[in-house]
Amino acid sequence: MTDERYMARALELARRGRFTTTPNPNVGCVIVRDGEIVGEGWHHRAGEPHAEVHALRMAGAKAKGATAFVTLEPCSHHGRTPPCCDALIAAGVSRVVAAMQDPNPQVAGRGLYRLQQAGIEVSHGLMMSEAEALNRGFLKRMRTGFPWIQLKLGASLDGRTAMASGESQWITSAAARRDVQQLRAQSSAILTSSATVLADDPSLTVRWNELNADVRQQLDEATLRQPVRVVIDSQQRVTPQHRLIAQPGETWLMRTEADQQAWSDSVSQIAVPLRGEQLDLVAMMMLLGQRQINTVWVEAGASLAGALLQAGLVDELIVYVAPKLLGNAARGLCELPGLEQLSDAPALKFSDVRKVGADLRLTLTPA
């Protein structure tokens, strides 16, 4: 097998951690000696061993003189676990191939450097774009301090989200809602607004029964991770009685200041500065990054959707389009106040188009 095949296998292993590793990245490792895979591992959860440690354990004495393929530069720091480069050196590995460097300032080249200093043959860059795609959230947070932000929208063919009356449930199909569950489950946080909480009283959770069978196989119902629910609530309108408050997992209420109600321990009130009359969305995203949120999955109404787009905060749009026409009296997909000229319209490009049940799923990124 070629180096590329081994790295492809390491990437496949890394992907198994996509529902569980946040705030850590997804990392996979394959150890090869004399053309034979002798060790495989991936990072499962923050606080638990890194990918290399699992692979080295499996390889045992066979790691001596072997090549390690890793999807991210082996770490050089003492975090929740000891440095992987020390473990690779101690095991007597003779070559390390990393798909990319780790931008974490605690690592940032020092892992590869330490391996090289120990006489190990080191290279990086093999299948780098695939490795980048695996950890868009972690990488963006390490590089910029901001989380990776995905905005999910659901609309009719004519771009409408609700009837004029506000009636909006089930525009898209059950298949689309199920697809959303798989994507929610991979996010660090789900963001919404108090307007949506007041209007729909959603629970914004990941539901075991709605995860695909192959996904369930890699997870454990008892330890299913719930993304943090983040609610923009500058007017303190969310109450302990709202449905999402009682759900398993944490809820963060983003407010200008805390109120004195009796909230449960799973609820935090986080102070965010104002910008005009609204919470400062840029400052808020920075706060989420500081709190180790890698990816934010936004499910909200036209007003927050438009504000995020206008602030340039959206990294990816996911639009489910139902084969229905709701007409011009129905409500639109996003509010973009002050937009008058076509040249000022947010420019996007399609990066993926596929059919999900009866609907289309469009994925777009800023052009």
Q: Which residues bind ligand AOF (CB under 6 A)?
A: 24-25, 27, 43, 46, 50-52, 72, 74-75, 79-81, 84, 102, 104, 107
3-state SS class at 340: coil
Residue type, 105: P
Q: Does 75 bind Zn ion (CB under 5 A)?
A: yes
CB 176 within 8 Å of CB 344: no
Question: Contacts with Zn ion: how many residues (CB under 5 A)?
Answer: 3
Select from Zn ion, ligand AOF, none the partner in contact with residue 107, using the beta carbon and a kind-dependent cut-off of 5 to 8 Å.
ligand AOF
CB of 47 to Zn ion, least distance (A): 12
18's tokens: 């996509």
CB of 146 to ligand AOF, least distance (A): 16
Select from ligand AOF, Zn ion, none the partner in contact with residue 251, using the beta carbon and a kind-dependent cut-off of 5 to 8 Å.
none
C-alpha span between 171 and 367 (Å, rounded): 28
Q: Which is nearer to ligand AOF, 106 or 278 (CB)?
A: 106
Quick one: DSSP state of residue 133? H
320's tokens: 């489910």
214's tokens: 């192959």
Q: Which residues pair with 260 in a beta bridge?
A: none
Question: How many other β-carbons are positioned within 10 Å of the β-carbon of residue 74?
Answer: 30
CB 202 within 8 Å of CB 244: yes
* Piece of 42-50, 241-249, 268-276, 278-286 that binds Zn ion (CB under 5 A): 42-50
33's tokens: 């000696």
**C-alpha 208 chain-centroid distance:** 18
C-alpha span between 61 and 77 (Å, rounded): 24
* Piece of 75-83, 122-130, 162-170, 293-301 that binds Zn ion (CB under 5 A): 75-83
| Residue whose beta carbon is closest to ligand AOF | 79
Catalytic residue list = 52
Quick one: DSSP state of residue 63? G
Q: Which is nearer to Zn ion, 75 or 206 (CB)?
A: 75
Select from Zn ion, ligand AOF, none the partner in contact with residue 330, using the beta carbon and a kind-dependent cut-off of 5 to 8 Å.
none
CB of 46 to ligand AOF, least distance (A): 5
265's tokens: 């321990």
Residue type, 175: A
Select from Zn ion, ligand AOF, none the partner in contact with residue 7, using the beta carbon and a kind-dependent cut-off of 5 to 8 Å.
none
C-alpha span between 330 and 241 (Å, rounded): 30
Q: Does 330 bind Zn ion (CB under 5 A)?
A: no
CB of 171 to ligand AOF, least distance (A): 39
Select from Zn ion, ligand AOF, none the partner in contact with residue 316, using the beta carbon and a kind-dependent cut-off of 5 to 8 Å.
none
Q: Does 50 bind Zn ion (CB under 5 A)?
A: yes
Binding residues (CB under 5 A) for Zn ion: these are 50, 75, 84
